[in-house]
Structure 1
Amino acid sequence: MLGFDKLDFQQILSTFLVLIGIIDIIGSIPIILQLKAKGKTVSANKATFLSWGLMVGFFYGGNFILKLFGCNIQSFAVAGSILIFFMALEMILDIEIFKNNGPVKEATLVPLVFPLLAGAGTFTTLISLKSMYADINIMIALALNMAWVYIVIKATDFIQRLLGASGIYFIRKFFGIILMAISVKLFFDNVVLLI
């Protein structure tokens, strides 16, 4: 339950900074632009709302859901890290591994919302933060992050015009390597805990 008496600006700021690094919407810009170049639609409203809903749902019910399926947070994080690794490979090598067999023109839910915005890394982080900070502070920081996600997704066309084709190509390769590094760290951090 949210406790407004536990409001703490320091906890909100710390949580906001941690989540902004994990969600990494700036690093997702090349993926969003790639999806748009393939004729897929990406809705800022839908991406923000679905991401927020998934994160809040997992924050309050994640452990129960995973236990229901006989999983733990570490095995979930390992599975998510593998998925993120393959998405990074696509960005670095200019190949298509991930096939979107969902609605033909829609790419908001998969792969943008899950696993990029609301994926294993975010879920694992939220569960970890819950053990350190008050729920109200985490929820405020999450809402601020979702506002940032909305602004960046809305501005992707402007960012593309600003950087041009070669700038976007460079960012795509650079963030592909960053995404791969995050996936490797997420994998090994959690495999060690599983073993």
Structure 2
Amino acid sequence: MLDFKEILTVTMVLFAVIDIVGTIPIIVDLRSKFGQIESEKASLVACAIMIVFLYAGDQLLKLIGIDVSSFAVAGSLILFFIALEMILGIKLYRDTEPSSASIVPLAFPLIAGAGTVTTLISLRSQYQSNNILVAIILNVILVYGVLKLSGKIERALGESGLNVIRKVFGVILLAIAVKLFAANVKGLFV
């Protein structure tokens, strides 16, 4: 059964992790280097990656011998560092030499990268998968819209507006990372 509160929470978490608004400067740079970005292709590939990890992530973990609690704690730590990047404006890791634009690095790893797939698997420990699926679809729609309108959004918000949005979502993501850690760390010692 769909739960609006869960859908809203997961949508916000994914929106913060994907940070599509914060990647507008990267998108603009990719467009200048490679020409037109295929928004539809990038959105669909990112959606497919997220759905695969939502439903097959647990099996992949079992295959390599990792329990969900351990992965959720690891995911909370990744979210913590992503939030620090957003809040402090530092770069802990970014692929700076892309070879193409629409699939790599846009769909993966910028939209559906390690942070996103880790978040999805971690969220499975707290939320219903059907609510997460709706949140994925909502985020892909937002991603598609931002990709289509990235030039206009950048001009409208300006550099300082983009920075404010990035920092606000960074604080939200940091709080979510702490909550995920606290909820799953007990499972490591059982």
TM bracket (short chain): 0.7 to 0.9
Q: Among residues 84, 87, 93, which one is paired with 1:92 in the alignment?
A: 87
For residue 71 of structure 2, give the secondary structure of its aligned residue in structure 1: helix
Q: Among residues 154, 161, 164, which one is paired with 2:155 in the alignment?
A: 161
Question: For residues 39-62 of structure 1, what are the alpha-carbon distances to aligned partners after superposition, in whole Å with 9 as ceiling and x for unaligned?
Answer: 346763344223321232233322
Partner of 1:67: 62
Q: Is the 8 A contact 2:18 2:110 kept in 1?
A: no
Deviates more, 1:39-48 or 1:152-161: 39-48
Structure 1 runs (4+) deviating above 6 angstroms are none
Partner of 1:176: 170
CA RMSD after TM alignment? 3.2
Partner of 1:20: 11
Aligned residues: 179
Q: Among residues 120, 138, 159, which one is paired with 2:118 in the alignment?
A: 120
CA distance in 1, matches of 2:138, 2:20: 19
CA spacing shift, 1:93–1:166, aligned 2, 3 Å: same
TM-score of the aligned structures, taking structure 2 as reference length: 0.73
CA distance in 2, matches of 1:22, 1:94: 19
Partner of 1:11: 2
CA spacing shift, 1:155–1:58, aligned 2, 3 Å: same
Q: Is the 8 A contact 2:69 2:184 kept in 1?
A: yes
Q: Among residues 45, 52, 76, which one is paired with 2:71 in the alignment?
A: 76
Q: Which ranges of structure 2 fall in alignment gaps of 5 or more residues?
A: 32-36
Q: Is the 8 A contact 1:16 1:142 kept in 2?
A: no
User: Offset at 1:139?
Assistant: 5.0
Q: Which ranges of structure 1 fall in alignment gaps of 5 or more residues?
A: 1-9
Partner of 1:152: 146
CA spacing shift, 1:80–1:45, aligned 2, 3 Å: farther
Q: Identity over the aligned pairs, expressed in percent?
A: 34
Q: Is the 8 A contact 2:22 2:165 kept in 1?
A: no
Q: Is the 8 A contact 1:90 1:97 kept in 2?
A: yes
TM-score of the aligned structures, taking structure 1 as reference length: 0.71
Q: Is the 8 A contact 1:90 1:96 kept in 2?
A: yes
